[in-house]
């Protein structure tokens, strides 16, 4: 066992809790609540197969573009990031990097994860890299440190994967019959169904989607039928929410264009115009959102990422490897028009809006109030700090904007949005930050010292609101 040193000098039991009331809220109300993680990118196969990770590098460094960006910034060769270096060499380079990440959330996350999962109380550096590597890798060989055990260790109650409409969901089926303790549900991510910018890749995708639906897709109506078919299938598998990654929500009032004509043009290999791309995306999204409403699903929109900015590295490493950033897209006008289009026929389902540019915090915080109609508590949500904003400053700004312009008491809280089984202490991070903000208000005399009421508010935000908002139930499966 690794000897205890002084990570505890900053990562104490009262980490981020700066008032007595904040400590009460966290330790007595938030700390031990279960986790409903309604958006992440964990591979369902690894959950269903209860993967055992060979070492700490496999579970902690592989696929984590947050860490990759930091290492590249420090001048570390790609060989030790995504290249052919050994797992021990890659871990050594990460351990070397960690002290340089101070004031980046990676420094907090790294040490929270080492402590919460492995009991490691040392600050990770090059000096103890080998010892930490051997200790954690040995623990990963124990049954309780396989994929499912790691989720249970963090009190995860529900986890939602992110799945393409053409996916078979075979691993969800396997996991269902394995009767795992943590509930695993798919989430419908149809971005590729309207990505017509590249005709060749789009035609290839339609072949895959058509195969899953059981018929060839040769028209716009058949595309929507195929997507509806897959929504029905996802619904039988317990899916109750969709997700979309967009630069911005789109709206088109164009009457001269035809979605069917655009699709046929693309199927013939012709590149559509910018206007045609926007129109087609709007028509598909509008149809999808009305189906979600009929199904009683929640829809999520992740807005504002500028993706694949480095074409050289895209060619070498592919997408989702750490070369995306915050975009500065206009959001408000088209967002309002799109949501209004659905609401005008009372077909706007429960909706979560996430922004990546912090300049849009108040835009979203005020926008949700336009479409909360009293039918559902918190029907339209301003989602938690996402991606570059899921750090202390980003979370505080999101919470404050929502508090000032809406009702933080109706907020459905945090998610991981991660590909790592070791990322769940981010819920703890969020809970500590939330309790600290409320605790400061109490200390400043801006809120009453009402432990029972504020404790219930924290419980709701961290767990109960999400539990009530989503229709997650084992009976949802129709297998």
pLDDT computed for residue 2 by the predictor: 47
**Domain region containing 66:** 52-145
pLDDT computed for residue 8 by the predictor: 62
pLDDT computed for residue 7 by the predictor: 64
- For every residue of the chain, which 3-state class applies, written as one string? CCCCCCHHHCCCCCCCCCCHHHHHHHHHHHCCCCEEECCCCCCHHHHHCCCCCCCHHHHHCCCCHHHHHHHHHCCCCHHHCCCCCCHHHHHHHHHHHHHHHCCCHHHHHHHHHHHHHHCCCCCCCHHHHHHHHHHHHHHCCCHHHCHHHHHHHCCEEEEECCECCCCCCHHHHHHHHHCCCCEEECCECCHHHHCCCCHHHHHHHHHHHHHHHCCCCCCHHHHHHHHHHHHHHHHHECCCEEEEEECCCCCCCCCCCCHHHHHHHHHCCCCCCHHHHHHHHHHHHHHHHHHHHHHCCEEEEEECEECCCCHHHHHHHCCCCCCCEECCCCCHHHHHHHHHHHHCCCCCCEEEEEECCHHHHHHHHHHHHHHCCCCCCCCEEECCCCHHHCCHHHHHHHHHHHHHHCCHHHCCCCCCCCCCCCCCHHHHHHHHHHHHHHHHHHHCCCCCCCHHHHHHHHHHHHHHHHHHHCCCCHHHECC
Give every residue of the chain whose pLDDT is below 70, as ranges: 1-8, 479
pLDDT computed for residue 5 by the predictor: 53
Whether residues 71 and 172 fall in one domain: no
Whether residues 128 and 151 fall in one domain: no
Whether residues 190 and 214 fall in one domain: yes
pLDDT computed for residue 4 by the predictor: 47
Whether residues 133 and 167 fall in one domain: no
**pTM, entire model:** 0.96
Whether residues 246 and 123 fall in one domain: no
pLDDT computed for residue 471 by the predictor: 86
Last residue of a domain, one of 145, 178, 196: 145
Examine residue 14 and state whether it is found in any structural domain, yes or no.
no
pLDDT computed for residue 228 by the predictor: 98
Whether residues 208 and 155 fall in one domain: yes
Examine residue 13 and state whether it is found in any structural domain, yes or no.
no
Whether residues 268 and 162 fall in one domain: yes
Last residue of a domain, one of 145, 172, 195: 145
CATH number at residue 250: 3.20.20.140
Whether residues 151 and 135 fall in one domain: no
Last residue of a domain, one of 145, 171, 202: 145
Whether residues 103 and 171 fall in one domain: no
């Amino acid at each position: 066992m690794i000897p205890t040193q002084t990570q505890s000098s900053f990562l104490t039991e009262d980490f981020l809790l700066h008032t007595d009331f904040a400590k009460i809220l966290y330790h007595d109300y938030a700390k031990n609540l279960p986790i409903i993680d309604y958006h992440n990118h964990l591979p369902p196969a690894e959950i269903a197969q209860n993967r055992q990770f060979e070492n700490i590098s496999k579970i902690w460094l592989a696929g984590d573009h947050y860490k990759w960006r930091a290492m590249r910034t420090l001048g570390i060769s790609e060989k030790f990031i995504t290249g052919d270096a050994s797992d021990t060499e890659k871990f050594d380079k990460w351990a070397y990097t960690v002290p340089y990440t101070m004031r980046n959330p990676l420094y907090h996350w790294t040490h929270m994860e080492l402590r919460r999962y492995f009991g490691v109380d040392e600050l990770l550096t090059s000096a103890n890299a080998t010892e930490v590597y051997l200790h954690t890798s040995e623990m990963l060989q124990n049954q309780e440190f396989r994929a499912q055990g790691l989720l249970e260790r963090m009190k995860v109650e529900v986890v939602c994967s992110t799945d393409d409409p053409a996916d078979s969901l075979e691993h969800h089926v396997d996991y269902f019959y394995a009767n795992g303790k943590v509930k695993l549900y798919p989430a419908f991510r149809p971005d590729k169904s309207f990505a017509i910018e590249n005709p060749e890749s789009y035609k290839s995708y339609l072949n895959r989607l058509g195969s899953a639906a059981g018929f060839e897709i040769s028209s716009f109506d058949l595309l929507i039928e195929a997507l509806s078919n897959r929504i029905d299938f996802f619904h039988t598998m317990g899916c109750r929410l969709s997700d979309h990654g967009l630069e911005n929500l789109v709206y088109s009032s164009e009457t001269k264009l035809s979605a069917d004509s655009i699709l046929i043009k693309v199927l013939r290999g012709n590149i559509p115009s910018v206007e045609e791309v926007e129109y087609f995306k709007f028509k598909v999204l509008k149809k999808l959102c009305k189906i979600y409403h009929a199904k009683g699903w929640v829809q999520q929109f992740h807005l504002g990422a500028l993706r694949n900015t480095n074409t050289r590295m895209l060619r070498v490493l592919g997408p989702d490897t750490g070369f995306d950033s915050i975009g500065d897209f206009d959001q408000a006008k088209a967002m309002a028009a799109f949501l209004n289009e659905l609401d005008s026929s009372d077909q706007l389902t429960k909706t979560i809006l996430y922004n990546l540019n912090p300049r849009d915090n108040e835009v979203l915080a005020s926008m949700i109030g336009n479409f909360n109609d009293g039918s559902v508590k918190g029907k339209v949500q301003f989602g938690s700090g996402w991606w570059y904003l899921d750090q202390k400053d980003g979370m505080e700004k999101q919470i404050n904007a929502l508090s000032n312009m809406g009702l933080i008491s109706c907020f459905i809280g945090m998610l991981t949005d991660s590909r790592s089984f070791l990322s769940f202490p981010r819920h703890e991070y969020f809970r500590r930050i939330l309790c600290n903000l409320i605790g400061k208000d109490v200390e400043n005399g801006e809120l009453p010292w009402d432990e029972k009421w504020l404790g219930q508010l924290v419980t709701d935000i961290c767990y109960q609101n999400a539990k009530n908002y989503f229709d997650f139930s084992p009976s949802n499966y129709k297998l």
